[in-house]
Structures are given as C-alpha cells and as structure tokens.
Amino acid sequence: MADNEEFIEEQEEEKVINETTMDVTDKKCPNCGATVTYDPATLSMTCEFCGYSRTIPKPETNTAMEEIDFETAKLRANKDWGTKQKSIVCKMCGAESLYDEAMTAGVCPFCGSTSVMPVDDDEDIMAPGGVVPFEIPQDKAAQLFKNWLGKKIFTPTAAKKGCEAGSFTGIYLPYWTYDSETTSSYDAQLGFEYKVKTKDGYQTKVRWRRYTGIYEEFIDDQVVYASTKTTNPSIRSVSTFDFTKLKPYSPEYISGFAAERYTLGLDDGWEQAKGYIQTTLKSHLGSRLRSTYHADRVGTINLSTAYDKVTFKYLLAPIWMSSFKFNGKVYNFVVNGQTGKVAGKAPISALRVAIAIILGIIAFAFIMWIMSQ
C-alpha cells in the first residue's frame, strides 16, 4: 500500500508521459519469416509483409486467456507405484502418508502422534514420475544438526553440548512442477529521477513514463508443494531442491521410507503456480525494462498472460525429520535430504537475549552521542 501511495503522489507532481511502445521479443512470422511487430491499436503481433496477425490478451482483463484442463492427462497418468502401498492419516495434524504395505506405520512422521489410522486405498492416486533421491545419509544429517544448533547465538551452551538428535525419519514430499510458454501483454510505468533547485538546495522528483508491449518467457519447472495438510514452517523453509538431479521413478528409491500423499490436486496446484509465475514475470520484465530504458524506478506493472503448451510432473523429494529434548521440552527439526539445509526450533536463553538487547541499546546511544558531537 505504501508503494502505491508514494507512486500516486509522484504522479501528481509529474504526469505520466504518453505511452511508449516496445516489443521485447524478436519473433519471426510463421508464414513468411519476417519479423512480427506489436500493434498497440489491436494488441496483436502483426506481420506487415504477409498480413499474419496473432491476437494478444488485453492488459485490463488481468486474467489468463486459457483454461487448462488436466483431466485427460490425469486419466493417462501412471498409477503403478511398483509396490503395494498403504495409506494412513494422522488424526492430530491431518497429514496423509504412503508406506510399503509391509512397513509398520504406527506413528505420524510429521508430528509424532500415535493417533494414526488407515484410509481406504485410492486407485486414482498418481504415481510419481520422478524422484530426487536422498544424498544425505542419516549419520551426516545428525552431524549437520549439531553444526546448526552450535551456531545458534541465543541457544544455551548446555543445549549445544548435551543435546542429541532422536531417531530420524526419512520422508519423501510431493511436488508438482509445471512448464509453460507464456505470452503477456504488459502496461508498465518507469520512473526517471531529476533534480529541481529549491531555496533549500535540490529536490529529487520523478518523471513517470508509460510503456506497453509484449513479453514472452518460457517457464521451466515452476515448483508447487503438493500438500494442504502439512503446516510445519520448517519443512517449507528447507524445501529447496535441485531438480536437475531428478531420477526416473523407481520403487527402490522410496523403499523403507514414507511418502507424503499429495493433498493439493493438479488443478489447484496449477492455480498456485500461476500466481508464482506472475510474480516471476513481473520481476524479470521490470528488470529488463529498467535496464533497456535506463530507468531509476519501476512502478506498477499490469500483465495479462496467456499460457500455452503446459506440461506437468509429479515428483518426490527427500527430507529427514527428527527431534531433541532439552529441559523436558521437545524441539522438532528438519534436514533437507539432498542439500543438508537444516531448520527447526531451538532452545532460547532469556539471559542471552536480554544481554543482546542491552548491548544494542548501549551501541545505539553511543552512536547518537558521537553524531551529536
């Protein structure tokens, strides 16, 4: 909100100069091979040689022009996990997990509750197309935990030296990834700073210019965590994986591990993905326009995006979950099974926090005293 208010005030100082049009792509006509250009009057890509025209969605709609129907894809999807799976649901946190039929599953891998119960098999549950295998063994995960805890400034020394991780549970998390060609019509405002002399010196003002055009970008592997049940923030904070190391799914990779069952469907995942994609497109386009026109600021960018040739993958990626006790309290933590990143809760020393606050106040007072001299 603050950015919008500042933007409006600056517009009142210096009106937006009439639009400048830019086509940030260099596309060839599919009919004759000449370069197609953007026609702002028709919001289309047009070839002046053969008359070819491709309509682009209007920015005012601010919505995608196509509906993506995944039903056919889901019907064709592989449902064979390679081994017989059983599903359990936790009554405490609601997480749903898949296990090899021969494995014992009496504890929820996410919250540790023993209030778990089997659920009816769902023959429509998709099998993953790929797996990011575990690269961090359990003993290394334990060492990474010790290193992580040792770097916590406000954690008591007794916890750093005496705490040991409990048993580790390896879990595969579900992800959707989406690829798509995107074509966006944009309406953007760029700010150019200039100086105005006043009685007190010079004041910086901003002259805003409007730019419209077409921006095209291929989105590769937009990742969406396919869970609506798991709310543990530590899981999300470590869930950055290198999907270039993806392996074709084989039941051997998940043998002996639990796999969280996806509870965010393919269509709902795509809706989330489009939100992430819009953020990415605006960021990339803003940087490109700013660089091209040597602007000082990027204002509002409105996009209307059409998605084409959308494909998806259902993937599994690994984490380790464990916990430790200190002063009778249990602290949970998570280790990324590929990168080794650790996140979780750690004990906090009230004394250390108080000392840090006091030192901060003293430092601030000293700086203010120096500046006043």
- pLDDT tens, position by position, 90-115: 767 777 766 555 454 556 766 666 56
Distances (CA, A) of 352 to 186, 203, 343, 349: 51, 45, 21, 5
- Overall number of domains in the chain: 1
For residues 86 and 118, give the distance between their C-alpha atoms in angstroms, rounded to a whole number. 8
**pLDDT given at position 22:** 43
Q: Per mean pLDDT, which range of 17-26, 89-98, 155-164 is the poorest?
A: 17-26
Mean of pLDDT over the chain: 78
For residues 183 and 364, give the distance between their C-alpha atoms in angstroms, rounded to a whole number. 51
Q: Per mean pLDDT, which range of 56-60, 241-245, 256-260 is the poorest?
A: 56-60
pLDDT band at 6 (very low <50, low <70, confident <90, very high): very low
**pLDDT given at position 21:** 44
150 pLDDT more than 60: yes
Query: Which residues does residue 99 pair with via DSSP β-bridges, in sequence order?
Result: 86
Query: Which residues does residue 297 pair with via DSSP β-bridges, in sequence order?
Result: 191
pLDDT band at 159 (very low <50, low <70, confident <90, very high): confident
**pLDDT given at position 183:** 93
Percent of the chain with pLDDT over 90: 29
263 pLDDT more than 90: no
Looking at the chain, which runs of residues are DSSP E strands?
Answer: 17-23, 37-39, 44-46, 53-55, 85-90, 96-100, 116-119, 130-131, 169-198, 201-225, 247-248, 258-260, 297-326, 329-336, 342-344
Q: Which of 75, 91, 175 is nearest to 123 (CA)?
A: 75
Q: Which of 183, 210, 192, 205 is nearest to 308 (CA)?
A: 183
- Mean pLDDT, to the nearest integer, of 190-197? 93
pLDDT band at 290 (very low <50, low <70, confident <90, very high): very high
pLDDT band at 85 (very low <50, low <70, confident <90, very high): low
Residue 142, sorted as left (phi over 0), alpha (psi -120 to 50) or beta, turns out to be alpha
For residues 17 and 195, give the distance between their C-alpha atoms in angstroms, rounded to a whole number. 18
For residue 104, the enclosing domain spans: 57-188+207-347
Residue at 38 is within a domain: no
11 pLDDT more than 70: no
Greatest mean pLDDT among 21-35, 87-101, 148-162 lies in 148-162
- Mean pLDDT, to the nearest integer, of 182-210? 92
Residue at 34 is within a domain: no
Q: Are strands 44-46 and 53-55 parallel, antiparallel or unpaired?
A: antiparallel
Which pTM value belongs to this model? Answer: 0.70
Q: Per mean pLDDT, which range of 73-82, 206-215, 242-251, 297-306 is the poorest?
A: 73-82
Helix (H) or strand (E) holding 164: none
For residues 349 and 366, give the distance between their C-alpha atoms in angstroms, rounded to a whole number. 26
The conformation of residue 35, written as its DSSP 8-state character, comes to: B
- Mean pLDDT, to the nearest integer, of 262-276? 92
Judge residue 88's burial from the number of C-beta atoms within 10 Å of its C-beta, 0-12 exposed, 13-18 middle, 19 or more buried. buried
36 pLDDT more than 70: no
* Sign of the torsion angle spanned by Cα atoms 269, 272, 278, 280: negative
Tens digit of pLDDT for each residue in 297-306?
A: 999 999 999 9
Residue at 12 is within a domain: no
The token pair that represents 79 in the structure block? 């449902």
Query: Which residues does residue 130 pair with via DSSP β-bridges, in sequence order?
Result: 248, 315
The answer for residues whose C-beta is within 8 angstroms of residue 183's C-beta and 6 or more apart is 56, 214, 215, 216, 305, 306, 308
Residue at 310 is within a domain: yes
15 pLDDT more than 60: no
**pLDDT given at position 101:** 55
Residue at 17 is within a domain: no
**pLDDT given at position 23:** 42
Q: CB of 27 within 8 A of CB of 46?
A: no
Residue 109: φ, ψ to 5°: -70, -15
Residue at 254 is within a domain: yes
**pLDDT given at position 143:** 92
- Mean pLDDT, to the nearest integer, of 212-229? 91
Residue at 32 is within a domain: no
**pLDDT given at position 72:** 64
For residues 154 and 281, give the distance between their C-alpha atoms in angstroms, rounded to a whole number. 39
The answer for residues whose C-beta is within 8 angstroms of residue 358's C-beta and 6 or more apart is none
pLDDT band at 65 (very low <50, low <70, confident <90, very high): very low
For residues 257 and 170, give the distance between their C-alpha atoms in angstroms, rounded to a whole number. 6
The token pair that represents 59 in the structure block? 């920015």
pLDDT band at 284 (very low <50, low <70, confident <90, very high): very high
Q: Per mean pLDDT, which range of 74-78, 174-178, 234-238, 315-319 is the poorest?
A: 74-78
Residue at 99 is within a domain: yes
For residues 152 and 333, give the distance between their C-alpha atoms in angstroms, rounded to a whole number. 13
- Mean pLDDT, to the nearest integer, of 16-40? 58
Q: Which of 150, 154, 182 is nearest to 165 (CA)?
A: 150
Query: Which residues does residue 305 pair with via DSSP β-bridges, in sequence order?
Result: 184
More confident residue, 285 or 321: 285
Percent of the chain with pLDDT over 70: 70
Tens digit of pLDDT for each residue in 306-339?
A: 999 898 888 999 999 888 888 888 888 999 999 9
Distances (CA, A) of 158 to 164, 290, 349, 357: 11, 52, 10, 22
